[in-house]
């Protein structure tokens, strides 16, 4: 009774203990645990199931965590669905992950579209990945612009990558262009990387004194030598 009251009041720990109790054979097994998940969804607290799955995972019950997440995903809890997708990505079960994303992607959910785009890129289908990212942007997910820019960078189209990055709002261009610059540095393209750092500095998104060049950058993107 106390566990039920605490779980209803929002305690994730109590909800986890109650779920494990019901999942036990003496309490009715899996069916009773599934009823608890349905109760949580019915009272409009479905987002708590994501945290319940996390708690079960961290306490050494990964199979139970997936069980909860899948049931919550089937009820339309997107956070739980994406949790399962990420887990299946780690185990290379990409076809199952894509199938799970299909319904919310068809409904134009921007997060589902962006995740599905990543899976399509991993499968080598860049055209489909870009189509999905365009849909995510159209659905209002400006973060998809950053992923799209990095996809273009990885595909060897730096001009399009930079153009897309600068379309992103607020500080998003900083994260996109910084990652691009680091990718170029790793590939030995130091002049191109330096040019991106210079752009960020000119846009006041990067302070050169806090980065690699204590004396700044010359107009060509090369490090400025020490002042005399």
Residue 42: its pLDDT value, please?
A: 80
- Identify the pLDDT of residue 141: 92
Lowest mean pLDDT among 28-32, 115-119, 142-146, 217-221: 217-221
Give the Cα separation of 60 and 81 in Å (integer): 20
- Name the residue with higher pLDDT: 17 or 155: 155
What one-character DSSP code corresponds to residue 107? Answer: T
CA 174 → CA 171, 186, 197, 205, distances in Å?
A: 5, 18, 9, 6
pLDDT category, 71, cuts 50, 70, 90? confident
Q: Which residue has the tokens 């004194």?
A: 209
Q: What is the mean pLDDT of the chain?
A: 85
**78 vs 148, residue with greater confidence:** 148
Alpha-carbon torsion 208, 212, 218, 219, what sign?
Answer: negative
Determine contact, residues 165/177, Cβ cutoff 8 Å: yes
- For the chain, the distance separating the N- and C-terminal CA atoms, rounded to the nearest angstrom, is 77
Res 208: pLDDT: 64
Residue 214 confidence (pLDDT): 47
Domain boundary assignment for the chain:
1-87
Task: Dump pLDDT digits (tens) for 183-211.
Answer: 998 899 988 998 998 888 888 888 766 55
**pLDDT over threshold 90, residue 35:** no
In whole angstroms, what separates CA 154 from the centre of its chain? 18
For the chain, percent of residues with pLDDT exceeding 70: 85
Which CATH number does 1-87 carry? 1.25.40
Which residues, 6+ apart, have CB-to-CB distance to 56 below 8 Å?
A: 16, 19, 20, 62, 64, 65, 68
Burial of 47 (0-12, 13-18, 19+ CB in 10 A): middle
pLDDT of 148 over the 90 cut: yes
3-state secondary structure of 217: strand
What is the spatial distance between Cα 136 and Cα 150, in angstroms, rounded to a whole number? 15
């Amino acid at each position: 009774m106390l566990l039920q009251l605490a779980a209803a009041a929002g305690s994730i720990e109590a909800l986890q203990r109650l779920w494990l109790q019901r999942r036990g054979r003496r309490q009715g097994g899996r069916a009773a645990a599934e009823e608890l998940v349905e109760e949580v969804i019915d009272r409009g607290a479905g987002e708590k199931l994501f945290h319940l799955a996390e708690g079960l995972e961290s306490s050494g019950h990964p199979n139970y965590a997936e069980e909860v997440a899948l049931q919550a995903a089937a009820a339309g809890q997107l956070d739980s669905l994406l949790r399962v997708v990420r887990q299946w990505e780690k185990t290379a079960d990409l076809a199952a992950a894509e199938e799970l994303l299909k319904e919310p992607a068809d409904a134009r959910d921007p997060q589902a579209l962006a995740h599905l785009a990543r899976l399509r890129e991993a499968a080598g289908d860049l055209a489909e990945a870009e189509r999905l990212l365009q849909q995510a942007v159209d659905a209002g997910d400006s973060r998809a612009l950053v992923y799209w820019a990095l996809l273009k960078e990885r595909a060897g189209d730096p001009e399009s990558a930079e153009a897309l990055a600068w379309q992103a709002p607020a500080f998003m261009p900083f994260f996109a262009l910084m990652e691009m610059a680091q990718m170029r540095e790793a590939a030995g393209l130091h002049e191109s990387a330096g040019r991106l750092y210079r752009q960020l500095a000119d846009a006041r998104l990067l302070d050169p004194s806090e980065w690699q060049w204590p004396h700044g950058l010359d107009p060509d993107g090369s490090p400025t030598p020490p002042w005399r």
